[in-house]
């Protein structure tokens, strides 16, 4: 009798595990499609002063005065981890707890902040 209970519990655990695995694959696939659909980084020169102004207006509450991170992650050396193109997509579409800024900032502003952050190494 115990053997059948253990076999049943193991079977249920396997089915649940496969369900979670399938859901994770689906989530990852949809994120990859969203990233691929995002437009490329607009070609514009870096304006550090304008990027800092946008940062102070839109990002400082979560990432701190000195990019040290508060609710959001530390961005002081984000250029070591992410390229300007990757940062552009993150700022534009959001990620994790970060909201998307594509509806509140112009593409040029997002690109400028992305280039500015990419230089933080």
Smallest CA-to-CA distance from 84 within 47, 116, 53, 39 is with: 116
Residue 38: CB partners within 8 Å, gap ≥ 6?
88, 89, 92, 93
**Any binding-site annotation on 59?**
yes
**Any binding-site annotation on 28?**
no
Q: Residue 7 and residue 111: Cα distance in Å, rounded?
A: 55
**Any binding-site annotation on 10?**
no
**Any binding-site annotation on 14?**
no
Smallest CA-to-CA distance from 52 within 118, 121, 116 is with: 116
Within 13 A of 53's CA, how many CA atoms are on the CB side? 7
Q: Residue 21 and residue 99: Cα distance in Å, rounded?
A: 26
Residues contributing to the annotated binding site for heme c: 59, 62-63, 98
Residues contributing to the annotated binding site: 59, 62-63, 98
């Amino acid at each position: 009798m115990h053997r059948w209970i253990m076999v049943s519990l193991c079977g249920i655990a396997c089915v649940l595990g496969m369900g979670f695995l399938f859901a994770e694959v689906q989530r990852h696939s949809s994120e990859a499609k969203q990233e691929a659909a995002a437009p490329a980084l607009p070609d514009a020169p870096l304006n550090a002063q304008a990027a800092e102004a946008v940062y102070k207006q839109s990002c400082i509450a979560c990432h701190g005065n000195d990019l040290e991170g508060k609710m959001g992650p530390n961005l002081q050396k984000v250029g070591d981890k992410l390229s300007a193109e990757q940062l552009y997509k993150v700022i534009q579409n959001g990620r994790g707890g970060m909201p998307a800024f594509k509806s509140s900032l112009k593409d040029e502003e997002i690109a400028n902040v992305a280039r500015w952050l990419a230089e933080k190494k």
